[in-house]
Structure 1
Amino acid sequence: MRKTATIAAVSTLLALSLAACGERDEDNEETGADNTESSAPAEPGSSDSASESASDTAAPTGDQYPDFKACMVSDSGGFDDKSFNQTSLKGQTDAADQFGVQTAQVESNSDTEYGDNIDQLIGEGCNEITTVGFLLGDATEAAAKKNKDVDFAIVDFAYEKPAPNLKGLVFATDQPSFLAGYLAAAQSESGIVGTFGGLNIPTVTVFMEGFRLGVEQYNEDTGEEVQLLGWDGSEGAFTEDFEDKGKGQSVGADLIQQGADIIFPVAGPAGLGGLQAAKDGGALGIWVDTDGYESTEYGDILLTSVVKGLDVAVTEAIKESAEGTFSNELYSGTLENDGVGLAPFHDFDGEIDQETKDRLDELTQQIIAGEVTTS
């Protein structure tokens, strides 16, 4: 199981440089992109209501599309979630830096705000609006159909018949999650690993299922019987939201008390509570969406992270809209196109033996070739 060997790397996706900032302030409802430092979102401001929560900024460097306005609505996790909202926002700030577009954002504080927040940005003259998260799917589609002169991109949602001005940005996260599950099983000393989610929705359980199948692959390869807690392929452990770090810490602590020495939280900011439980309990963690070594304060306990090229996909969608080449063609990030992958092992690189690293490389190629099932 956990072994020591020479230093080598498996696969890297992108250099995601995100600031490790503090816990989200529930009283803050406003976020602006900091175009002079594209690696992190600006500190949220405060306002009395969601209708006052958008802020406009202009990029100081790019000048290709100075009259174009790209906007964004977060889900209830907020832009400083150390995860997919934060990385999506980086895609917008990168677009501002590279192309000179104007930007505006609204940070959602509850699921009931999504439609109103999108409408607010439409009223502010946005040419393109990116919405972040599966839960915004219905509100985004309704807005796209109603506002045909605005381009919409949505992270983590695919439509069967999207409107002409609506593009889904999806990621095959089961693929790197499979690799993460294999790695976790290989590194576990207790023979027990765990996972939990925020909500039981497809964009969460796809991580968990990939992780489960990766553990199974390790057991098949080695004859070991590493156990997975928190997900059995259909049911599992969930915090029932993405915001409550206390719930995440409680669920994570429960998994650790049952013997898990590596946990894989898929719960946005609530998942940070799981990492805290791991740190308190002497366990290790694997983060999601971004390289948690860079974006969280828990880098010293993270084996790796399952990362998505959210920022690159968002930047490209904005660019296409600004230059007039936007389409409703679905974007799908995979291992093959580097849209998803495992982050570097960082401090744990020397503790992962070469045999495991080589097998992860081999599995990556087999997944790309369609020889291994990850979902």
Structure 2
Amino acid sequence: VSIGIGGSYLGNQVLFDLFCGPYWNMKSKEERHGFPAVFFAGQNVDPVSLLKLTEELKRRSGEKDNYKVTLLVISKSGTTIEPTTAFHVLMKELSGFCDVSVIAVTDAEKGELHRLALENNWDTFTVPEGIGGRFSIFSPVGLVFGSLIGLDTEEFLRGARTVEEFCQSEKWDENPALLLASLKYIGTSEYGLVSEVIMPYGDALRSLGWWYAQLLGESLGKKYNNDGQIVHAGRTPVAAVGTTDMHSLTQEHQQGKKNKLFQFISVDSPSLDTKAYCMEGESEGFVQMSRMLTAAMKSNAEALASEQRMSCRISVSRMTPYHLGALMYFFFLTIAYEGSLLQINAFDQPGVEAYKKILHQYLRSFLQ
């Protein structure tokens, strides 16, 4: 059970969705090549979801002897409400019917989770100092989880390293990350774009949109610039997925306010493909479904362009750990570059503290 929220959850959900898939837990241990069934918790303060998870784990424990559950709890401070609550509830609920072990990914020297890990001699990994959660996928936050599901972490890191080496130039025409950041900056500052719709094509990429939404929103959504002036920078991120949301959001995208940028992501050669019957007018035959998916994305982009609406597309040849590492790190760089162009700090998130202070006041009043 991977326990975390924000950057301690979203990146791992991307890894799971792309390299395990929705039916992973239905497979036998042999079919999973010895890797465990995986569940997520701590991404919301939702008692129904959490207790449904404990019910499912209890049901599974009744099917075999010596049932074991490992809690991978990820929290730098160990006091964030959502993962802390999930962790304590699961420890209490699971201890009655299964063997529970804990792996902690937390601060190296301080914090409540660090203290508990020392007291209980749990396996512990460190969240690097100065790395915000949304940038942590290449640290133990993502690599420990990746190892538990059999991800080739060396290839994942190699993809990131390739992009780092390729995007060193200060010239926009030699640095694709700087080019994309510059174009988005111009679109925002010169053409009044206030929203960015991240729209990957394919169900397995849905969580990549959620992950990118946090990266964009927390990094660029800032009240002050580096000189302390009020600027209210950033674009509102909207996570969507093609083709699903072409049937729910495209009407507004196509004819609503011209204040949105569209970021499409596609995979040229998916890991699985098949042909489907297709009838267009008097013509009929069979078409590769991957071609249908790509055609839908291109059609969306062309239709938007016909109304002078801006979009950009990143095409990945195939989705392997190497390619995903490259893609996620590429987005890191575009965000860092655009933050510099906006003259803001893209690496902090002071705005989230406002609601947290109010929330803790409410919680103190509820204590019994």
Do the structures match in fold with TM over 0.5? no
**Rg: which structure is higher?**
2
Relative contact order higher in (CA < 8 Å, ≥ 6 apart): 1
More helix as a share of residues: 2
